[in-house]
C-alpha cells in the first residue's frame, strides 16, 4: 500500500524560526481540557478497553452495524454551518461505503451533532457508543474555537465517531515521529500516548497527511516549540484538517468492509486516489 503515500501534499514549514503560528495552531478547537487526547470522550470502560488494546474484531459493537450511521443535527446551527456539516457527511458518504443517514426517529443508536457548551469545542466519542451519541461541533464565536470554518474538522470528528483514533497514537509511530515531551503542556502529556501492539492491526502505512494526525504544535507550552516532528526524510507538513487523505479514505473503507468484491475494491480505491488529499 506504499503507493498511496507517494503523493505528499504539504505546506513547507521547515525552519522553526520562520514559523508564524496560525490561530489554528495556537488555539485549536480540538484541545478541550478534560477530554481524552483533547477531543475524544471516553467512558472509563472504553478507556480501559482502549488501554489494553481495542480491536474492532474483538469489540465489534463499536462499529456501526452495516456501516449505517443515523444522525440528527441541532437546529441551533446557522444555515452556513449546517451546510459545512452536510458537506462533511456527503464527502464521507461518497468516499466510502459508510452511510450517514438522517435519523428516522426510531433507530436506537444515532449521532446527535450539537454545539455542546460544556465541554466546548470539537469532540466525539470513538466508535458507536450506543443510544443518542453526542458529536460536538462548536460554531465560531468572537474568540472561541471554530469547528466549522471548513468541513475538515467535522470530518475529523465524524471519523472518530466511526471508530478511528489519532494517527500519531499508532503503536509503530516512534519510527515516524518524534514526540517532544519537554515541549508539551504537562497535563496533556497523556494525549501523546500510543496504542499497544495488541491494538488494531494496521493495513496501511503511517500517514503524515492524515486528517487524524496532530499538527506540529498541538498542546505546546510555548509558541514555536513543536511537540511532534517527523523522523522520516522529506516530510514537511504533518496533520491537516482539510480533507480525508488517501490513507484515511482507504482505512475507513477497510474498517467498514467496503472492499468485499473486486469491483467495490476498485471503486473505492479509485475514489480514494482521486479525492484523497
Binding site residues, Zn ion, CB under 5 A:
39
In 3D, which of 157, 149, 174, 9 has the Cα closest to residue 80? 149
β-pair type (99-102, 177-179): unpaired
Minimum CB distance to Zn ion smaller for 28 or for 81: 28
Least distance between Zn ion and beta carbon 90 (Å): 21
Q: Where are the beta strands (DSSP E) in 209-259?
A: 228-230
Q: End-to-end CA distance of the chain, in Å?
A: 16
Place of cell 501523546: 192
Tell me: is residue 180 an annotated ligand-binding position.
no
Minimum CB distance to Zn ion smaller for 36 or for 259: 36
Q: Which residue is nearest to Zn ion (CB)?
A: 39
Classify burial at 21, counting beta carbons within 10 Å of its beta carbon; exposed 0-12, middle 13-18, buried 19 or more: middle
Classify burial at 211, counting beta carbons within 10 Å of its beta carbon; exposed 0-12, middle 13-18, buried 19 or more: buried
User: Which are the catalytic amino acids?
Assistant: 157
Least distance between Zn ion and beta carbon 122 (Å): 8
Count of C-beta atoms within a 10 Å radius of residue 142: 4
* Cell numbers standing for residue 143: 474568540
Count of C-beta atoms within a 10 Å radius of residue 26: 11
Least distance between Zn ion and beta carbon 24 (Å): 14
Minimum CB distance to Zn ion smaller for 40 or for 272: 40
Minimum CB distance to Zn ion smaller for 39 or for 207: 39
Least distance between Zn ion and beta carbon 117 (Å): 19
Tell me: is residue 160 an annotated ligand-binding position.
yes
Amino acid at each position: 500500500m506504499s503507493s498511496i503515500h507517494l503523493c505528499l501534499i504539504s505546506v513547507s514549514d521547515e525552519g522553526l524560526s520562520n514559523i508564524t503560528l496560525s490561530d489554528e495552531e495556537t488555539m485549536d478547537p480540538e484541545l478541550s481540557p478534560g477530554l481524552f487526547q483533547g477531543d475524544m470522550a471516553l467512558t472509563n470502560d472504553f478507556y480501559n478497553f482502549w488501554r489494553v488494546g481495542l480491536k474492532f474484531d474483538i469489540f465489534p459493537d463499536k462499529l456501526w452495524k452495516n456501516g449505517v450511521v443515523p444522525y440528527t443535527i441541532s437546529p441551533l446551527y446557522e444555515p452556513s454551518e449546517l451546510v459545512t456539516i452536510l458537506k462533511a457527511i456527503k464527502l464521507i458518504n461518497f468516499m466510502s461505503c459508510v452511510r450517514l443517514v438522517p435519523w428516522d426517529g426510531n433507530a436506537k443508536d444515532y449521532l446527535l451533532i450539537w454545539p455542546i457548551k460544556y465541554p466546548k469545542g470539537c469532540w466525539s466519542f470513538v466508535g458507536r457508543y450506543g443510544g443518542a451519541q453526542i458529536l460536538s461541533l462548536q460554531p465560531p464565536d468572537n474568540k472561541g474555537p471554530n469547528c466549522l470554518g471548513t468541513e475538515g474538522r467535522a470530518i475529523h470528528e465524524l471519523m472518530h465517531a466511526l471508530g478511528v483514533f489519532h494517527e500519531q497514537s499508532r503503536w509503530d509511530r516512534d519510527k515516524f515521529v518524534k514526540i517532544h515531551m519537554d515541549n508539551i503542556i504537562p497535563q496533556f502529556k497523556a494525549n501523546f500516548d500510543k496504542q499497544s501492539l495488541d491494538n488494531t492491526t494496521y493495513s496501511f502505512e503511517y500517514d503524515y497527511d492524515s486528517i487524524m494526525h496532530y499538527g506540529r504544535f498541538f498542546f505546546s507550552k510555548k509558541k514555536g516549540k513543536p511537540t511532534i516532528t517527523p523522523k522520516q526524510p522529506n516530510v514537511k507538513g504533518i496533520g491537516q484538517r482539510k480533507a480525508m487523505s488517501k490513507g484515511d479514505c482507504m482505512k475507513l473503507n477497510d474498517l467498514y468492509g467496503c472492499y468485499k468484491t473486486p469491483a467495490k475494491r476498485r471503486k473505492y480505491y479509485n475514489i480514494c486516489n482521486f479525492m484523497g488529499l
